[in-house]
Structure 1
């Protein structure tokens, strides 16, 4: 394996580093003796603030080139991961990623709570414009991407994912759900992709 990239994990909307998939990734990295190479921040509700934070965390590793960092993104985190992969030229593994969250998140404008706490979580209408600024209409290097999509996703349509990441490495799970409740079965596949040197 070349590069030994740090792994940046980006959680989904209203989620946190305490999510099931984030904990599975952390556990597997720990088993590999690489827990210290995992970056898993709590993302602010503001997409711009979230990416400002991630860039600060990632750039020290991305400066080492495409093999310095790899990104795993779940749901909205997959949308963010795509923007980062295009920016850094690094690998990105996407788990049921949001392809066009602008059309889905408008109904979530307002105050709610995060999934893993009782803390108020406000999604402001201005954040829709911030998301628009991060949208990647077409990926430029499909070989940098790995898509793990579930046909049983009850939140997002897996067919949109398959089309958006055409040409990428794809594993379409028959059934399952948005959370990919059996993610432990797939974490090794995801990490193996991330830990391989990015294509030149």
Structure 2
């Protein structure tokens, strides 16, 4: 039986609607689903590198396989973990944050330059219900990752909303174009994908992904 790990998105948390949904669904199958809090120990020092290290610490001993389910920035994290860890046998990505810097940073406008000079940006954090500061090191760390290096052929199923206002569906389309192991399903929804959770779950069962060794 694989170890299943769910990775929440940026400024989200382990109690998000999707995380809770999947945890309950896994419970009905009698399968544990690990849902780490990637905000810990301090959201202000969040980085992709820190996320990857946090997930790595959850891995079972070799050779037990791992299936990663990642939402948004958690999806980007999952892709990078899978690149390095051969135990990852399947990726399920929900509106993954590919091309995150290109999609998000231009929308900040003058705030971006303030972030550079002041060192911190106030980010609306949905899990905490209030804004929290984020260190500019988040950007510097993110820019060190070249998504063109994500070349390990891990079977990958992506669900992305055609009306995604945060990460355009075109980012997932470009990601899948040169990777034959990627399947993209475009849904009629926005970035949250909360209206399609049940359909996503049914697809996973139809494809027997949860039963893969």
**TM-score normalised to the size of structure 2?**
0.78
Aligned pairs (5 A) from 1:12-161: 12-34=9-31, 37-44=32-39, 45=43, 46-47=46-47, 48-58=49-59, 61=60, 63-65=61-63, 68-89=65-86, 90=88, 91-106=90-105, 107=108, 110-118=121-129, 120-161=131-172
Structure whose alpha-carbon radius of gyration is higher: 2
Indicate the SS of the match to 1:164: helix
The residue number in structure 2 matching 1:9 is: 6
Q: Do structure 1's residue 193 and structure 2's residue 209 form an aligned pair? A: yes
The residue number in structure 1 matching 2:118 is: none
The residue number in structure 2 matching 1:184 is: 198
Equivalent-residue separation in structure 1 for 2:176 and 2:15 (angstroms)? 27
The residue number in structure 2 matching 1:165 is: 176
Equivalent-residue separation in structure 1 for 2:153 and 2:174 (angstroms)? 11
Structure 1 residue 185: deviation in Å?
Answer: 1.7
Structure 1 residue 144: deviation in Å?
Answer: 1.8
**TM-score normalised to the size of structure 1?**
0.83
For residues 13-61 of structure 1, the C-alpha deviation after alignment (integer angstroms, 9 at most, x for no partner) is: 1000111111111010010011xx2111111331233222221112xx2
Compute the RMSD of aligned alpha carbons.
2.1
Equivalent-residue separation in structure 2 for 1:132 and 1:144 (angstroms)? 26
Indicate the SS of the match to 2:139: helix
Contact 2:6 2:36 in 1 (8 A): yes
Equivalent-residue separation in structure 2 for 1:116 and 1:158 (angstroms)? 24
- Structure 2 unaligned blocks of 5 or more: 116-120
Indicate the SS of the match to 2:67: strand
Equivalent-residue separation in structure 2 for 1:130 and 1:111 (angstroms)? 18
Contact 2:11 2:124 in 1 (8 A): yes
Equivalent-residue separation in structure 1 for 2:131 and 2:170 (angstroms)? 33
Equivalent-residue separation in structure 1 for 2:69 and 2:204 (angstroms)? 8
